[in-house]
Amino acid sequence: MKKLFGTDGMRAVAGEYPLDPSTVASLGWALVKLLGEEGLEPRILVGRDTRESGPWIEKALFQGIDSGGGDVISAGIVPTSAVSYLTKKHRYAAGIVISASHNPYRDNGIKIFSSQGIKIPDGWELRLERILLNRKHKIREKRLRVVPQPALAEEYEDFLRRQIDRLPPAKEMTIVLDCSNGASCAVAPLVFFHLGFKVIPIFNIPDGKNINRKCGSLHPEGLARMVINARADLGVAYDGDADRAIWVDEKGRVHNGDHTLFVQSRFMKTNRTLKSNAVVATTMSNMGLEKALREMGLELVRTRVGDKYVLEKMIDLGANLGGERSGHTIFLDDCPTGDGILTSLKMLKVMLLSGAPFSELVKGLKEFPQILQNVWVREKIDFREFPEIIQVIEEVKAQLAGVGRLDVRYSGTESLARVMVEGEDKTQIEELARKTTDVIAKYLGE
């Protein structure tokens, strides 16, 4: 079992273990050691989001990497997918993103990409943990200046602009971009403006503390109001590191990553660019998506929550489209990780070629009622240690057999148990969700 890494890297309150300066520096040192064991030259690229803790965490990583004998370059404030793309393009041995994604500004995190631009496997994370937990080395401190290389961000912007060439004119289309005061602020508005869209950016003035604050993919209410007020064609909400995209249609209604997979599956199948009849999603995707894909002759293959696990399953199946209900979408032909800006471009491409508004594109997806509830827990103990919890889970699954689903899991990034119940009868699933959360709170709650 991993102790420091979750489903999306290492995440904690900035300044507290394991995101204290000493441990972060040791992680940089450990990564150099691991790359050496793999026979790789330790050239490492680092990018970050807009959190106030980002600069000192980046500097601590630089200290550790330098102390271990590695070379490190900063891309500055860029989306997660920029680090993935640039790491692969320039053949860095590894890429590091400093971000806590959708979490509040006090949190931060570190996720590591391989030379292929793919999040490192669990086995590598376990090896890094062993080095960290048994550390006996001393980081050699010296004065280091972290100087971002703006040309790297420009390369990523060029990559994005190339994704939507040779399309009908976009000048009559208005889009509102909720940048979540995060990593997309400097990139997304410029990309869409240069492509000819009328762009209205909101929540795009980061101050180090306002990232994700009442904005972004978890809080699209402000975006929905702006779309209506501006009579825009589409609203897009990113999260702090811009690897998610959530939608607001021209009528002000919010749509999620399942809608992305529905629209893109149909478009790619029609245009014969879907390489497999399998589309990969997680246990959190709605049964309505499964039904809609089945009617297209496609199969929804589910995997555990986490875009790294979606990618692994896509590679296993030879699929080139997959994603999460939360807004991560992977277009494997273009980029091996979730990219909110790329996903936006793909969606606008469908709208431009079809001439249809977003509300029409998503009409064929009828979602089943779904409830997601969280329970704060004092410790993430295996549910099987509590027969009472297992009994309730089995009872609920029996009641939902054939007409719904129950998914119970721990968050990979927070001290939460997540309970998802889905079915045809909203009253029933509300009752079953409450029954499940009550028993978890009784035995594991804070």
Question: Residue 148 pLDDT more than 80?
Answer: yes
Reference 108, options 8, 184, 181; nearest CA is: 8
Same domain, 28 and 98: yes
Q: How would you write the chain as a 3-class SS string?
A: CCCCEECCEEEEECCCCCCCHHHHHHHHHHHHHHHHHCCCCCEEEEEECCCCCHHHHHHHHHHHHHHCCCEEEEEEECCHHHHHHHHHHCCCCEEEEECCCCCCCCEEEEEEEECCCCECCHHHHHHHHHHHHCCCCCCCCCCCCCCCCHHHHHHHHHHHHHHHCCCCCCCCCEEEEECCCCCCCCCHHHHHHHCCCEEEEECCCCCCCCCCCCCCCCCCHHHHHHHHHHCCCEEEECCCCCCCCEEECCCCCEECHHHHHHHHHHHHHHCCCCCCCEEEEECCCCHHHHHHHHHCCCEEEEECCCHHHHHHHHHHHCCCEEECCCCCEEECCCCCCCCHHHHHHHHHHHHHHHCCCHHHHCCCCCCCCEEEEEEEECCCCCHHHCHHHHHHHHHHHHHHCCCEEEEEEECCCCCEEEEEEEECCHHHHHHHHHHHHHHHHHHHEC
Residue 57 and residue 164 in one domain: no
The reply to whether 188 and 142 lie within a common domain is: no
Which range marks the domain in which residue 24 is found?
A: 5-148
The pLDDT of residue 81 is: 97
**pLDDT for residue 242:** 98
CATH number where 166 lies: 3.40.120.10
At residue 363, the pLDDT reads 95
Round to the nearest angstrom and report the end-to-end CA distance of the chain.
Answer: 22
Residues 246 and 306 in one domain: no
In a domain, 394, yes or no: yes
**Does residue 29 sit in the same domain as residue 121?**
yes
Last residue of a domain, one of 322, 339, 356: 339
Domain limit, last residue, from 339, 362, 381: 339
Verify that 173 and 108 share a domain, yes or no: no
What confidence score (pLDDT) does residue 168 get? 64
How does residue 170 score in pLDDT terms, banded at 50, 70 and 90? Answer: low
Is residue 417 domain-shared with residue 376, that is, in the same domain? yes
Active site residue 99: no
pLDDT reading at 165 higher than 70: no
Stretch 88-116: mean pLDDT: 97
Alpha-carbon distances of 197 from 69, 200, 356, 379, rounded to whole Å: 46, 9, 16, 48
Query: Judging by DSSP bridges, how do beta strands 321-323 and 329-331 pair with one another?
Result: antiparallel
Do 131 and 22 reside in the same domain of the chain? yes
In a domain, residue 354? The reply is: no
Give me the pLDDT at residue 139, please. 81
Is residue 55 one of the residues assigned to a domain? yes
Choose the most confident range, by mean pLDDT, from 136-140, 180-184, 408-412.
Answer: 180-184
Q: Residue 335: inside a domain, yes or no?
A: yes
Residue 302 inside a domain? The answer is: yes
Residues 79 and 102 in one domain: yes
Among 433, 425, 346, 351, which residue's Cα sits nearest to residue 393? 433
Reported as a pLDDT band with limits 50, 70 and 90, residue 143 is confident
Positive or negative, the Cα torsion across 324, 328, 329, 334?
Answer: negative
Q: Is the pLDDT of residue 169 over 80?
A: no
Percentage of residues in the chain with pLDDT exceeding 90? 87
Boundary of a domain, candidates 201, 226, 250 = 250
CATH number for the domain spanning 406: value is 3.30.310.50
55 and 169 share one domain: no
Res 7: pLDDT: 76
DSSP-derived pairing of the beta strands 43-48 and 94-98:
parallel
User: How many domains does the chain contain in total?
Assistant: 4
User: Does residue 89 sit within a domain?
Assistant: yes
Region 300-321: mean pLDDT is 95
Question: Does 321 fall in a domain?
Answer: yes
Calculate the CA 263 to chain-centre distance.
Answer: 19
The pLDDT value given to residue 138: 76
Contact yes or no for 92/85 (Cβ under 8 A): no
Q: How confident is the model at residue 90 (pLDDT cuts 50, 70, 90)?
A: very high
Confidence of residue 106 (pLDDT cuts 50, 70, 90): very high
Evaluate whether residue 353 is within a structural domain.
no
Rounded distance between C-alpha atoms, residue 73 and residue 58, angstroms: 10
User: Do 91 and 175 reside in the same domain of the chain?
Assistant: no
Mark whether 16 and 139 lie in a shared domain.
yes
Q: Pick the catalytic residue: 53, 67, 81, 101? A: 101
Distance from chain centroid for Cα 420: 19
Which pLDDT belongs to residue 365? 96
